Amino acid sequence: MNDWNHLLWSAALPLLLLTGVVLTLRSRGFALRHLGTGIRLSGRAAGSGSSGSPFACLCTSLASTIGTGNIAGVAFALTAGGPGALVWMWITSALCTAVKYAECAQGSAYRRRMADGRRLGGTMVTLTHLPLPRLGLLLGSLYALLEVFSSLSAANLVQSSAISQTLWTAHSVPPMVSGLLVGGLTLAILLGGSDSVTRFSAWIVPTMIGLYLLGGLAVLFTHWSALPQAILSLVRQAFDLSAVGAGALGNTIRIGVIRCCFSNESGTGNAAFSAALSDADPVQQGLISATSNLWDTGIMCSVTGLSILVSGTLSSNLNGIPLVMETYASGLGQVGRWIVAVCLILFAFSSLPGLAFQGESALLFLCDAPLARWLYRLSFAGLSAVGCLFSTEQALLTADCCNALLIFLNLIALWWVPVPKTHEI
């Protein structure tokens, strides 16, 4: 799996960064310049109870992105790529803000109405608007198949395995018991359909973000004197061009980009699924969806990464979830471990319904039969239970390979299907 991961990302990484640069320059930094507008628009819609409100759609997108990648993913990035990996996560996130805006604006603009009135959009629908319709339908179907596979296997396994590892580390809960709990609760939410997913996301996402940030800021405050040195070390290592560091720099960049893409899903087209449900116009929804990069990588991943660096726990032999638990414990004691455990379970569990929504939307593009939807939901819940028996690190490698393949197809849509014209708001 490691060999496939290296091969796929050796091509996906430069193509994604190039696309981010081109879209940013072509739009004159529209998405970055209007991040404040996107935040204001999403806040204005927060009071709406509609499942199609821009805020609810943003929360659905955040529910699938804010998960294991913000805790275990950042820890793996720092141990594998060094402190500089966090800087390259920031750079990738900034460049891919334009990518996130474009794919979500496309998802909203090119969505279609199903026979029962539901909205369906995403990269697979956008690809059908390629200049060659038959090729577009073929690529769209390929994207949908890959999305269904990714949601059922790779992405699903990452989140459920993280829940299992957390429950075992914190409370010695057997993986089999964790699997039954996760599978049962996931199925209960999925039985309510997409409206149930968006309502659940709009409630739990702000709560879990607030709890985790409070804990992380407390750790940073406890070790505030080490913060300047930590920032200096990560910036220095991110751009180390010395003879010794030249080979390591490539690894740092690769790890940073891959972990960023897993964390906020930029370039994969996944955020376009929820954007297609929004009542807002495509440009406004694109701006609202683009703010997810700020919340996810700019804030959540930064708090995790900086907390690890200032606490000095990076030099320990720990990795992944245990490393973050030890980091929070360095500033808050046993309470810190509890905060990480509770937040990671909330993060990972809230990601599962969002991932299932993306996979089911892709399935609808291929087959609109009610039986297929029910079989998908049952399969997703069952595999989320099985995922509790897997290791988080191995599941991350599988998810990375799937993300690279999704990026290839999504970039075709971004380059060859018109993005809705920007207008000042």
Of 25-39, 343-357, 385-399, which has the strongest mean pLDDT?
25-39
More confident call, 198 vs 185: 185
What pLDDT score was predicted for residue 319?
A: 83
Query: Do 69 and 161 touch, CB atoms closer than 8 A?
Result: no
Give residue 405's pLDDT: 93
What would the two tokens of residue 26 be?
Answer: 């072509």
Does pLDDT of 244 surpass 70? no
Q: Per-residue pLDDT for 356 more than 80?
A: yes
Structure-token match 């030099």, residue found: 315
Is 37's pLDDT higher than 90?
no
Question: Does the pLDDT value for residue 339 go beyond 70?
Answer: yes
- Range with the poorest average pLDDT among 33-47, 72-86, 122-136: 33-47
Three-state SS annotation for 78-142? HHHHCCHHHHHHHHHHHHHHHHHHHHHHHHHHCCEECCCCCEECCHHHHHCCCCCHHHHHHHHHH
| Encoded tokens for 239 | 């751009």
Q: How confident is the model at residue 200 (pLDDT cuts 50, 70, 90)?
A: low
Task: Inform me whether the pLDDT recorded for 184 exceeds 80.
Answer: yes
- Where do we find the tokens 């990795």? 319
Contact 61, 292 (CB under 8 A): yes
387-425 confidence digits (pLDDT tens):
888 776 777 778 888 889 999 999 999 999 998 876 555
pLDDT of residue 197: 56
Highest mean pLDDT among 83-97, 204-218, 271-285, 389-403: 83-97
Burial class (CB in 10 A: 0-12, 13-18, 19+), 225: exposed
Rounded CA gap, 304 and 320, in Å?
A: 11
Strand partners for 112:
120
The stretch 292-300 carries a mean pLDDT of: 88
The pLDDT > 70 percentage for the chain reads 88
Q: Is the pLDDT confidence value at 49 over 60?
A: no
Q: Could you give the CA distance from residue 284 to residue 29 in angstroms, rounded to a whole number? A: 15
pLDDT level of residue 55 (50, 70, 90 thresholds): low
Q: Which residues have CB under 8 Å from 173's CB, separation 6+?
A: 164, 167
- Closest by CA to 360, choosing from 185, 126, 124, 137, is 124
* Predicted pLDDT of residue 264: 84
Q: What are phi and psi of 117, to 5 degrees?
A: 95, -10
Q: What is the identity of the amino acid at 44?
A: R
**Residue 194: predicted pLDDT:** 53
Confidence of residue 59 (pLDDT cuts 50, 70, 90): low
Range scoring the smallest mean pLDDT among 44-53, 180-189, 207-216, 377-386: 44-53
* Average pLDDT along the chain: 84
**Is 243's pLDDT higher than 50?**
no
Q: How confident is the model at residue 198 (pLDDT cuts 50, 70, 90)?
A: low
Name the pLDDT band for 363 (thresholds 50, 70, 90). Answer: very high
Residue whose tokens read 């929504």: 357
- In terms of residues, how long is the chain? 425
pLDDT tens track for 1-13 = 677 778 888 899 8
> Residue 90: which pLDDT band, with cuts at 50, 70 and 90?
very high
Instruction: Read off the pTM.
Output: 0.87
Rounded Cα distance, 91 and 83, in Å: 14
Mean of pLDDT values over 264-291: 86
CATH superfamily of 2-414: Amino acid/polyamine transporter I (1.20.1740.10)
What is residue 187's predicted lDDT score, i.e. its pLDDT? 83
